[in-house]
């Protein structure tokens, strides 16, 4: 029975909208949908350039809809969290009245049997509109627009920027060797796996010897010493991106464990100021106290490495030990 761990990664973007999409988004807060004149046609959503020729369009914005006609559609029976509705719905190409191109949006019709090409739909607006395509919660069958909840009115200022969250959710299998190393760490033990063929020891829960293509498990566990020597380091100056919790430069060090061939990479340090980090510094493992354990670090209880007071090791070969 394989255990899986769910993770997600999110990239928050802010983008400027420009004069045309900005006007489109601002109009959405007023419950209006704008297109742009392109020769005899009207493009919806509006664009700054003709998509066929690349020619810049004159900024003649035209209100369309709000009702329109479904040109084609596809049913989404199992929406994910990324979808606009949390119940089954259709994605449809909707040609709004007065437009010559279709707008892609969601239609809340209840069932695929209620959907048809040529069907008339109108927007269901959100009560609170921020200048985003999701100000239209979805389209609904019929000619009449509707508003969800109290209508909080249009935006006070023209909409010029848009927040966008690009996000991925994924599931990774967790190998038993990884759980074993974390469990040992909770008991304040560093363990590795020793390959019975080549004798190499692997740390960090790597349950395989890539040299011998051999799976390693609990019978190959060896205890590793909680002391070592810094062989390499990097000082990270944190960039203040969203979600960054570090504000001051900090170190990550590589530690060669005593009497072994094992190098632990990118380890945090404790009570070792950035300016004192150096190759050859002798360090010992620092473990979380019982009180600190409640935070439930998924990687175990090792907090980092602290100088243990022993004299530095002067060995020019140390810097070559990055693995």
Which residues of this chain interact with Zn ion, rule CB under 5 A?
Answer: 195, 197-198, 209, 211-212
Report in angstroms how near the CB of residue 176 gets to Zn ion at its nearest: 18
Which residues are within 8 A (CB) of 75 and not within 5 positions of it... i.e. 6 or more apart?
88, 89, 90, 112, 115
Instruction: Please say which residue, 124 or 194, places its beta carbon nearer to Zn ion.
Output: 194
Q: What letters, b where the CB count within 10 A reaches 16 and e where it falls short, cover 294-309?
A: eeeeeebbbbbbebee
Q: Which residues have a Cβ under 8 Å from the Cβ of 247 and sit 6 or more positions away?
A: 238, 240
Distance in Å, CB of 213 to Zn ion, minimum:
9
CB contact at 8 A, 302 and 228 = no
Q: Which is nearer to Zn ion, 8 or 213 (CB)?
A: 213
Residues 211 and 178: their CA atoms lie apart, in Å, by 19
Closer CB to Zn ion, residue 197 or residue 270? 197
Which candidate, 264, 246, 262, places its Cα nearest to that of 254?
Answer: 264
Residue number with CB closer to Zn ion (161 or 198): 198
Nearer to Zn ion, 199 or 243 (CB): 199
Nearest distance in Å: CB 200, Zn ion: 5
Return d(Cα 32, Cα 186) in angstroms, integer.
58
Least separation in angstroms between residue 193's CB and Zn ion is: 10
Q: How far is the CB of 299 from Zn ion (least distance, A)?
A: 25
- Is residue 85 within 8 A of residue 108, CB to CB? The reply is yes
């Amino acid at each position: 029975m394989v255990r899986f761990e769910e993770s997600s990664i999110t990239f928050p973007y802010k983008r400027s909208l420009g004069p045309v999409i900005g006007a489109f988004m601002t109009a959405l807060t007023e419950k209006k949908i704008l297109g742009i004149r392109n020769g005899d046609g009207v493009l919806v959503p509006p664009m700054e350039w003709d998509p066929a020729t690349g020619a810049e369009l004159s900024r003649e914005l035209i209100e369309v809809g709000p009702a329109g006609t479904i040109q084609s559609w596809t049913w989404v029976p199992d929406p994910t969290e990324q979808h606009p509705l949390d119940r089954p719905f259709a994605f449809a190409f909707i040609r709004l009245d007065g437009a010559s191109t279709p707008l892609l949006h969601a239609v809340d019709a209840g069932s695929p049997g209620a959907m048809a090409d040529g069907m008339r739909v109108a927007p269901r607006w959100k009560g609170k509109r921020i200048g985003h395509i999701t100000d239209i919660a979805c389209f609904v069958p019929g000619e009449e627009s509707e508003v969800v909840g109290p209508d909080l009115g249009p935006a006070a200022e023209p909409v010029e920027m848009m927040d966008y969250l690009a996000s991925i959710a994924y599931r990774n299998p967790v190998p038993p060797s990884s759980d074993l190393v974390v469990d040992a760490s909770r008991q304040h033990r560093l363990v590795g796996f020793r390959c019975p063929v080549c004798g190499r020891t692997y740390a960090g829960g790597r349950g395989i010897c890539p040299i011998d293509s051999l799976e390693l498990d609990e019978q190959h566990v060896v205890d590793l010493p909680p002391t070592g020597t810094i062989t390499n380091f990097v000082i990270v100056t944190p960039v203040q991106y969203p979600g960054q919790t570090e504000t001051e430069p900090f170190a990550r060090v590589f530690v060669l464990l005593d009497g072994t061939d094992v190098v632990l990479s990118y380890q945090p340090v404790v009570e070792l100021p950035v300016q004192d980090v150096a190759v050859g510094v002798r360090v010992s493992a620092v473990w979380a106290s019982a009180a600190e354990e409640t935070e439930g670090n998924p990687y175990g209880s090792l907090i980092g490495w602290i100088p243990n007071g022993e004299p530095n090791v002067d060995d020019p070969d140390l810097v070559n030990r990055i693995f």
